[in-house]
Structure 1
Amino acid sequence: MSYRAPLNDIRFVLDHVVGFDRVAATDRFAEATPDTVDAILTEAARLSEDVLAPLNRPGDTQPATLENGVVRTAPGFAEGFRAIADGGWIGINADPEHGGMGLPFTLTAAVNEMMGSACLALQLNPLLTQGQIEALEAHASDDLKALYLPKLISGEWTGTMNLTEPQAGSDVGALRAKAEPNGDGTYAVSGQKIYISWGDADFIDNVCHLVLARLPDGAEGTKGISLFMVPKRLPRDDGSAGDPNALRVVSLEHKLGLHGSPTAVMEYDRATGWLVGEPHKGMAAMFTMMNNARVGVGVQGLSIAEAAMQHALRYALDRKQGKSHVPDGSILEHADVRRTILSMKARTFAVRAMCLDCAVSLDLGRAEGDAAMRARGAFLTPIAKAYGTDTGIGVAGDGIQIHGGMGFVEETGAAQFLRDVRVTAIYEGTNGIQAMDLVGRKLADGGDAAFALLDEVEQTDHDGLRAAAIELRTLTQWMLDQPMQDRLAGSVAYLAAFARVLAVHYHLRAAAADADRSRLARFAATCLLPEALAEMAKARAGAEELYALTTDELAAA
């Protein structure tokens, strides 16, 4: 499964669609010059194509295993990870004080796209570490930062996030893990956590777990949760990994996809941990990591969409079947195949622009302290996560369809894309939770961030898009006027509508900068604007019909 990094598209989106030059113009990110950006993207593309892509299939067919308490990783993953770490790719946007490059988060997103397309199971490892780095930078004590950040940034150690428990899935406040003071500034952390991606690996000196647990005086629910750093091995005085901590991998999950990524059940038995942030403020600290990861997971959806689209396009060009109006007779000349490929390309381009637009907003908010840009990035985050992963799943499914019967057998590799990407709509907050967040927290500003985005869209010279944006503005106000249950009932459709309106907006920006892109933009508008209007109608339905059938009646059906 050869992969070619879409460098031209990435550069074009940065330069002509999302205004990355505004980030490079700030004092904080002045080093992100065109030459630096080009060098980073070019080298990341080489690494992804030549080193990581060959690991994708072996990671699927020879997955991580647990042997006598030791996680054995897939063939070549150790060397692949070392190439990522040695290249400095984990700390692209980390603080230079601790060994990071200090470059914009936008470049991390662009690099992660390519690495995720090449081998998503391996790319998930540094993605989690990057999120942990950001959480520690924001919330940890100076001593913890000095000890952990250099090793996480260098890739000597890796990081995880431990939220979920068997009885507490998305309801994190129902966790039972506990932490008791040891009297020396450390805590004894006990409990079981599930679905811990990259909970262990045989090529890492130390795995650093950020664990949510409740102190003895912690209130019930999320307000009483604290966050702890609990390493696999206890650091020695010189900072090296020392004796094993009182934690273990109980088992590895048998998963639909991402087989190369070990997903662990972790058990902590009075393991030594250190408090990160303030007592009982653990969710706020963990949300720093989660919000970073949510954008990153949206990028993972983009990664698979790009890889699956490339894979399907190559097959369509090579496959000769049926009569067509060109001599070579490839199936790409059949109307339905061409429609599907165009749709795959249009949606993939839109998600790339959406994720990078979100990242640019977050960078500008960080660099300039711009509250409006921070709000813009926050509003785009659930849309990028949900639409990005839904698109990855949809494009991967279309890729199987392009292959026909050959897509349903594993030898072609088309099925792996769908199996690997399916979880992205679930982890880091299901896409339903993203939609609830959008109509709840993200509209808590009275719709200011939403209306500001729509102001941008309505300036685009396209009657159909302008009309859809005006209708979306009306729907946003309708949402603000409704009781929360009606908002929640229409939240998924509202997010889907907003995403499609933005998608067409990005395509038309691209067409304005390059006339050659106008044909794909026209196709995108033709397909996505009717979908947006349909989603808006669904969003207005309210909650009444959802609850018209009683629970007993639903169960009987």
Structure 2
Amino acid sequence: MPIYEPPIRDLQFVLHEVLKLSQSDLPGHDELEPEFTEAVLEAAGKLSAEVLAPLNIIGDQQGCVLENGVVRTPEGFRQAFEQVKEGGWTALDCDPEYGGQGMPYVLGVATGEMFVSANMAFNMYQGLTHGAYSAIHAHGTDEQKRTYLPKMVSCDWTGTMNLTEPHCGTDLGLLRTRAEPQEDGSYRITGQKIFISAGDHDLAENVIHLVLAKAPGGGEGTKGISLFIVPKFLVNQDGSLGERNAVSVGALEHKMGIHGNATCVMNYDGARGWLLGDLHKGMRAMFTMMNEARLGVGLQGYAAAVPAYQNALAYAKDRLQGRAVTGAANPQGPADPLIVHPDIRRSLMDQKSFIEGARALVLWGAHLIDRSHLTGDADAEGLISLLTPVIKGFLTDRGFDMTVQAQQVLGGHGYVEEWGMSQFVRDARITMIYEGANGIQALDLVGRKLAQDGGKHVLAFFEMIKSFCKEQSANEALARDIIDPLKAASKDLQAAATFFMERGMKNPNDALAGSYDFMHIFGHVSLGFMWARIAVAARAALDAGTGDAAFLKAKLATARYYMARQLPMTGTHLARIRSGAEPVMGLEAEAF
């Protein structure tokens, strides 16, 4: 069975040495002392390693089953879900008014990484509920909040989001699900939705669906879409459950991965629903959930790579194969361990440098969300809005690549099911597709986010890196290996943005043909920025004689690796962008 070791020390390092949470000026963050967060992370890590991780293979092998209209989850999932609920993990960062613990979002994200790494399919049941909770919390009436949120905070009721239909995915303007208004203020929802994660299951007594549909008078396209709360079981005035609503599971999807999560075809046959937010303004309310989900999927991208890397590392240290070219490293044995070979070391360093940089980026993003929500900081909101497609797209692309590299370390053993490596690859693959496929993330970044608020936020990102590099320019220990590569990569990113501004208006295809490369330039620069911040923190701790010297030196070595071996990819992506649309669009469709 694959191993999983919760990365408590590294999470603590990012939270306190890089982000310096307890020194933040945000409300409640002064309580996030290292001793407190360590206790929380240790408890979450114990639950992840001892309860959730052992169920990961079981969920993959058994999957979910639809029996007489009821979805059964894999063996052990119900008991584990109860343990998660009893520990208060579903309520960690939720509003105390509805039973939450009121902790900062960043702490919920830190614990969420471990839950995802241990069992991604299982964690989706509570993760989607949190997104639905956030949408109702932001857009619901007082009555809707009182009715649904306490039960969703505790996960006695879980939540979903219903967007995709058989004939339309990203282009939601084509959806056909209809909402007919009733005299009592409710609506009758009719239509079919597909790919609905956690659409039905036996873990909770009710499922609260958030459903996009078109109500009369909304016009064509996305402007006519509204969002509705459609519970599996209707809720009585006293909060008890009433009759079954006219919503059912038509089928379970047979998927490449995440078998432990029920991905459902949902049929709405005149089901009763209630408007969430403003009529014909459903996309605004849904994007509250979508944006949170996209950050969560970015987290999944690197979190899925964590156990894959851990198992590849253990195998590389244990498996004897060949001799080191510089001389036997294990002269008493028949061969040396795999980890002595440079190409294996390259693969492991690729994985390690990506995971640890991505972890810092996602936690920084969560910290920006806390700043936005707790203080109303528009600049923080604009920055995380800019970074969201980068976090989702780049981290899931690279996270999948890292699971494949981890599998490769095991050679043939990585390809057979008993070692568990293929599950990491199969589970990670979905992250590049759902919550907006990564090509859509790239288009969103270039087509919308760059120009948002007159380009204010991307210019602020450039200035942030420029100021950071200037501050560290006198740091002789880091200037050449860390700061100079970040400067060069940032210039590549700015040059790409300038190319879009100069050419995009004349020929939009020039921008769109380079959008995917731009997302990856932005991702590399973002991780480079994180590694520079990590290196500064590690160097300062070493100079002060605080912390674990071996741990800190490993951070510096890994930072140098990323700057030397990964960050130069910005030059390749820039060259592709500058080639424009002609190489991409030059072949007529009929010639393919």
Same fold at TM > 0.5: yes
AA aligned to 1:264 is C
| Equivalent in the alignment of 2:419 | 412
User: Is 2:7 the partner of 1:6?
Assistant: yes
Mapped partners of 2:498, 2:17: distance in 1: 31
Which runs of no fewer than 5 residues in structure 1 stay unpaired?
none
The answer to whether the Cα contact below 8 Å between 2:21 and 2:29 also exists between their aligned partners in 1 is no
Deviation at 1:29, TM superposition (A): 4.5
Deviation at 1:391, TM superposition (A): 2.0
User: Is 2:291 the partner of 1:326?
Assistant: no
Mapped partners of 2:526, 2:125: distance in 1: 30
Deviation at 1:19, TM superposition (A): 4.1
How do residues 40-439 of structure 1 correspond to structure 2 at under 5 angstroms?
40-324=40-324, 325-327=328-330, 329-439=336-446
Deviation at 1:526, TM superposition (A): 0.8
Mapped partners of 2:377, 2:576: distance in 1: 35
The answer to whether the Cα contact below 8 Å between 2:22 and 2:29 also exists between their aligned partners in 1 is no
Mapped partners of 1:173, 1:40: distance in 2: 43
| Equivalent in the alignment of 1:479 | 500
Deviation at 1:91, TM superposition (A): 2.2
Mapped partners of 1:35, 1:173: distance in 2: 50
Query: Residues 249-293 of structure 1: CA distance to partner in whole angstroms, max 9, x if unpaired?
Result: 000000000011010000000000010000000010000000000
Mapped partners of 2:232, 2:180: distance in 1: 18
The answer to whether the Cα contact below 8 Å between 1:31 and 1:103 also exists between their aligned partners in 2 is no
Mapped partners of 2:401, 2:321: distance in 1: 25
The answer to whether the Cα contact below 8 Å between 1:29 and 1:102 also exists between their aligned partners in 2 is no
Deviation at 1:179, TM superposition (A): 0.5
| Equivalent in the alignment of 1:489 | 513
Deviating more after overlay: 382-391 vs 143-152: 382-391
Q: CA RMSD in A?
A: 1.4
Mapped partners of 1:283, 1:390: distance in 2: 26
Q: Secondary structure at the match of 1:447?
A: helix
Mapped partners of 2:146, 2:366: distance in 1: 27
The answer to whether the Cα contact below 8 Å between 2:140 and 2:276 also exists between their aligned partners in 1 is yes
Q: Secondary structure at the match of 2:440?
A: helix
Mapped partners of 1:274, 1:68: distance in 2: 28
Deviating more after overlay: 188-197 vs 463-472: 463-472
Deviation at 1:237, TM superposition (A): 2.2
AA aligned to 1:522 is R
Q: Secondary structure at the match of 2:75?
A: coil
Q: Secondary structure at the match of 1:213?
A: strand
Mapped partners of 1:167, 1:549: distance in 2: 28
The answer to whether the Cα contact below 8 Å between 1:62 and 1:74 also exists between their aligned partners in 2 is yes
AA aligned to 1:550 is E
User: Is 2:486 the partner of 1:465?
Assistant: yes
Query: Residues 5-37 of structure 1: CA distance to partner in whole angstroms, max 9, x if unpaired?
Result: 1011111111222343455x3225454344432
Question: Relative to 1, partners in 2 of residues 1:174 and 1:19: Cα closer, same or farther, differing over 3 Å?
Answer: farther
| Equivalent in the alignment of 2:450 | 443
> Would you say how many aligned residue pairs link Structure 1 and Structure 2?
553
Question: Relative to 1, partners in 2 of residues 1:442 and 1:28: Cα closer, same or farther, differing over 3 Å?
Answer: farther
| Equivalent in the alignment of 2:573 | 535
Deviation at 1:449, TM superposition (A): 1.5
Q: Secondary structure at the match of 1:440?
A: helix
Mapped partners of 1:485, 1:284: distance in 2: 28
Q: Secondary structure at the match of 2:83?
A: helix
Mapped partners of 1:172, 1:34: distance in 2: 45
The answer to whether the Cα contact below 8 Å between 2:394 and 2:520 also exists between their aligned partners in 1 is yes
Q: Secondary structure at the match of 2:410?
A: helix
Q: TM-score, normalised by structure 1?
A: 0.97
The answer to whether the Cα contact below 8 Å between 1:99 and 1:153 also exists between their aligned partners in 2 is yes
Mapped partners of 2:493, 2:91: distance in 1: 39
The answer to whether the Cα contact below 8 Å between 1:447 and 1:477 also exists between their aligned partners in 2 is no
The answer to whether the Cα contact below 8 Å between 1:59 and 1:260 also exists between their aligned partners in 2 is yes
Mapped partners of 1:137, 1:76: distance in 2: 31
| Equivalent in the alignment of 1:550 | 588
Mapped partners of 1:414, 1:449: distance in 2: 40
Mapped partners of 1:371, 1:170: distance in 2: 28
The answer to whether the Cα contact below 8 Å between 1:305 and 1:391 also exists between their aligned partners in 2 is no
Which runs of no fewer than 5 residues in structure 2 stay unpaired?
470-478, 540-552
Q: Secondary structure at the match of 1:278?
A: coil
Query: Residues 356-398 of structure 1: CA distance to partner in whole angstroms, max 9, x if unpaired?
Result: 1111111111111111111111111111111221122011100
Mapped partners of 2:501, 2:88: distance in 1: 45
The answer to whether the Cα contact below 8 Å between 2:12 and 2:34 also exists between their aligned partners in 1 is no
| Equivalent in the alignment of 1:500 | 524
AA aligned to 1:526 is A
Q: TM-score, normalised by structure 2?
A: 0.91
Mapped partners of 1:526, 1:513: distance in 2: 19
Mapped partners of 1:393, 1:464: distance in 2: 25
The answer to whether the Cα contact below 8 Å between 1:59 and 1:74 also exists between their aligned partners in 2 is yes
**Alignment partner of 1:519 out of 552, 557, 563:** 557
The answer to whether the Cα contact below 8 Å between 1:298 and 1:384 also exists between their aligned partners in 2 is yes
AA aligned to 1:61 is Q
Mapped partners of 2:166, 2:532: distance in 1: 46
Question: Relative to 1, partners in 2 of residues 1:207 and 1:507: Cα closer, same or farther, differing over 3 Å?
Answer: same
Query: Residues 145-202 of structure 1: CA distance to partner in whole angstroms, max 9, x if unpaired?
Result: 0010000001100000000000111111110000001110111000000000010111
Mapped partners of 1:19, 1:285: distance in 2: 33
AA aligned to 2:460 is A
| Equivalent in the alignment of 2:475 | none
Deviating more after overlay: 38-47 vs 272-281: 38-47
User: Is 2:462 the partner of 1:454?
Assistant: yes
Deviation at 1:354, TM superposition (A): 1.1
The answer to whether the Cα contact below 8 Å between 2:416 and 2:422 also exists between their aligned partners in 1 is yes
| Equivalent in the alignment of 2:548 | none
Mapped partners of 1:139, 1:551: distance in 2: 44
The answer to whether the Cα contact below 8 Å between 2:538 and 2:556 also exists between their aligned partners in 1 is yes
The answer to whether the Cα contact below 8 Å between 1:492 and 1:539 also exists between their aligned partners in 2 is no
Query: Residues 193-216 of structure 1: CA distance to partner in whole angstroms, max 9, x if unpaired?
Result: 000001011121001100000002
Question: Relative to 1, partners in 2 of residues 1:425 and 1:10: Cα closer, same or farther, differing over 3 Å?
Answer: same
